[in-house]
Amino acid sequence: MSVKNAIQSIIAEASRIDVLVNNAGYAINGAFEEIAMDELKDQYETNVFGVTRVSQAVLPIMREQKSGIIVNISSSVVTMGGYPGGSAYIGTKFAVEGLSRSMTYELEPFGIKVVLVEPGAIKSTNFANAMIVAKKSRDPDSPYSQMMHKVIEAVEHLWEGGSSTEVVAKVVLKVVTTENPYPKYLAGQDVEALTETKRSMSDEEFYRTIKQNLIKGIT
């Protein structure tokens, strides 16, 4: 109902919707074995179903206009392919990328563009502070307790050296002001470097590199 009311309010004031940026999201960290189903459902409710709900609500308007752009904020974890303790969050971001790519084919005939923006670590946001550790993985007696402690330390360190929020804002602005934007844009030097590294390696080599360097000391 809140989505419907918000859209009705915008239409009443502006008569159209040209841009939708789906940016809401949070991360739950925890060993896959220990993530409760209700924790997983909450993660998907925000990161995937939220994107779906709002996008479906604006699409009839954009189709009638025969124009519009939807920007879905993904994450560099998709390029990374995964990390220990991140299965729930990473699963949602792979889902968002799959949704976006499929939507592109469906909506292009109606003049609607769908673009992914894939940020790296971004400091000065509430994202890192809002991270949740699955309840079972907080238990000191958990077989994954030591791993999760190292994961949290690694994530905190990563965010300390992250890019500014302006980096993402500038990329989003570029996307919505470009006549024919690319299907996906990167935001941040870390994800750009990661992507270049992945292009130069086989999947097996990239996996070893991630394990030895980017998540060194976690496993």
Q: How many CB atoms lie within 10 A of CB 22?
A: 21
94-103 long-range contacts, Cβ below 8 Å, gap at least 24? Answer: 95/44, 95/47, 95/48, 96/22, 96/47, 96/48, 96/51, 96/72, 97/72, 99/48, 99/51, 99/52, 99/72, 100/70, 100/72, 100/74, 100/183, 101/183, 103/55, 103/70
Torsions phi, psi of 53, nearest 5?
-60, -50
User: For the CA atoms of 157, 36, 25, 8, what is the dihedral angle to 10 degrees?
Assistant: -170
Q: Is 204 exposed, middle or buried (0-12, 13-18, 19+ CB in 10 A)?
A: exposed
Q: Just list the catalytic residues.
A: 89
Q: How many helical (H) and strand (E) elements, i.e. helices and strands, does the chain have?
A: 9, 6
- Compute the distance between CA of residue 183 and CA of residue 102 in angstroms, rounded to an integer: 11
